[in-house]
Chain A
Amino acid sequence: MGHDAGTVHTLRLVNDSAYRARLVADPKAVLCEESGHHPVQDFAVEAVEQRDDTLVILLPARPEDGEDFGERLTEVSQRVYDVLFSSGVGGFLIPDDGLKWVLRDIRSSWAARAASEE
């Protein structure tokens, strides 16, 4: 079965401990390097590893300036998303729409690069 570049990358993260360690150490650098896309926008990437003995909590982002604390708290604390994995699930959490197209552009660039290397 032929895998596309994204699938190959994800399987490498599972199977290749050196590759995984490199990504975990600097996820933004590895993603930009692999995809060939270096966004001008200022942003960070954090790797969140799933482990057999670990519960990870990602708290909702703080209210923005001018937002009502109580209203936001009520809304977001009722939007709870439980992800229970067995062999694992990968992907992204994108806290804000401001980074939506940054991620999509990284992916487009990656796919285009992979296609041109075939």
Chain B
Amino acid sequence: MTEPYRPAGPRYEGTPGPCPTGEDQDLEAALTRRAWADPAFAARLEREPLEALASMGVRVRPGITVQVRLQRRDTLYYVLPPAKRPDEPDRREPVNLMDLWRSGDNFVWLLPERLKTELLAMRRSFHQAQAGTDETRSSHGA
């Protein structure tokens, strides 16, 4: 595996260039970087995701489970819709389907629609925490 990227010289501002380690502003970038560069962290993300995320300052509302997998190129991921509840009658309508080809090039979130505010909160709080520690970037209200 290649070494983590560490550019010499000034940081990049406002451009999608690489950031020095630890200063990715978006949750997805930071998580991906760390999981790629640190196999022990990647394993921890899969084994105890809430603890691993907490170590990056990402907190999740109690009662919510998070599951993390690092996609492997030799693996097909078969996404299953939720099982019906035992008390429910059998479903009969065909299930919506999606296939994502070259998904290895994507950061994918699968979550129930009702948890969308949780996802937004995770992204926002991470972004604000990073922006708050970045001395050269002015803080935007967003």
Contacts and interface: CB of A to CB of B under 8 A. Distances in A.
Contacts of A115: none
Contacts of B45: 59
A59 B39 CA distance: 13
Interface in A41-100: 42-71, 73-100
A74 B74 CA distance: 23
A94 B76 contact: yes
A80 B107 contact: yes
A13 interface: yes
Contact of A14 (B70, B81, B114): B81
B112 A52 contact: yes
Contacts of B94: 3, 7, 10-11
Given A14-B95, A44-B75, A60 B104 contact: yes
Contacts of B75: 43-46, 95, 99
Given A55-B65, A70-B7, A78-B16, A47 B105 contact: no
